[in-house]
Amino acid sequence: MKKFNFHPVEHFKTITEHKKLVAEGCFKVGLYRQGILHDLSKYMPEEFMVGALFYQGNRSPNNAEREKKGYSAAWLHHKGRNKHHYEYWVDYSSQTNGGAFIPVKMPLKFVIEMLMDRVAASKVYNGENYRDDMPLQYFSRSMDTIIMHPETKKLLYALLRMLSVYGEEKTFNYIKRRLLRNGTY
């Protein structure tokens, strides 16, 4: 079994760099509130201490916690407080007797924040090797199995594809000047 060491300084630097990159992306498209408030729960003890304990620098510490325990308490805490995660938008169906879980269409501003989150995570974990197609590649690996509203999934995929083909500047301009001006998808 892998031994983990406590790395609070490195973890703090990683989550702060991630938060800074998300803020930059959100500010470029005019989502200032999302940029400022993004991932503040990562600094709470329930998430920060786990992140520092399972820190590796090249992937989410939540995955390491999940591998060791069979679940990630930090992730459960995080996804329940951050509306830019599609997992936040899963609810019981009122149309079934068994209470089946169904995905709910995400508000546009949170879909855009989710995009910025994925771009920032790819940048942090890939460093100087980052390319604009990496967030799309990462999403494509799980796209068919995740519980995400079809319209949300379609928009996220389209934006990730646009990013991979046209780059950040054109994609972010499209988001700011077309998507967010319309306010819906």
Give the angle 48-117-73 at the CA atoms, nearest 5°: 35
Neighbours of 14 (CB within 10 A): 22
pLDDT score for 84: 98
User: What is the helix (H) or strand (E) element at residue 116, kind and residue range?
Assistant: helix 108-126
Q: How confident is the prediction along the chain (185 residues), in pLDDT tens digits per residue? A: 566 689 999 999 999 999 999 999 999 999 999 999 999 999 999 999 999 999 988 889 999 999 999 999 999 999 999 999 999 999 988 777 667 889 999 999 999 999 999 999 999 999 999 999 999 999 999 999 999 999 999 999 999 999 999 999 999 999 999 999 998 89
- The C-alpha atoms of residue 161 and residue 146 are separated, in whole angstroms, by 18
Domain boundaries, the chain: 8-182
- Cβ(39)–Cβ(82) under 8 Å? yes
- Helix 8-29 crosses helix 108-126 at what angle (to 10 degrees)? 130
Q: What are phi and psi of 171, to 5 degrees?
A: -65, -45
pLDDT score for 157: 98
Residue 85: how many CA atoms within 13 Å on its side-chain side?
A: 14
pLDDT score for 54: 95
Rounded to two decimals, the pTM is: 0.93
pLDDT score for 160: 98
- Cβ(156)–Cβ(164) under 8 Å? no
pLDDT score for 81: 97
Q: What are phi and psi of 107, to 5 degrees?
A: -60, 145
- The C-alpha atoms of residue 28 and residue 35 are separated, in whole angstroms, by 10
- The C-alpha atoms of residue 56 and residue 29 are separated, in whole angstroms, by 31
Greatest distance between any 2 Cα atoms in the chain? 51
- Cβ(63)–Cβ(94) under 8 Å? no
DSSP string, 63-82: HHHHHHHSS-HHHHHHHTT-
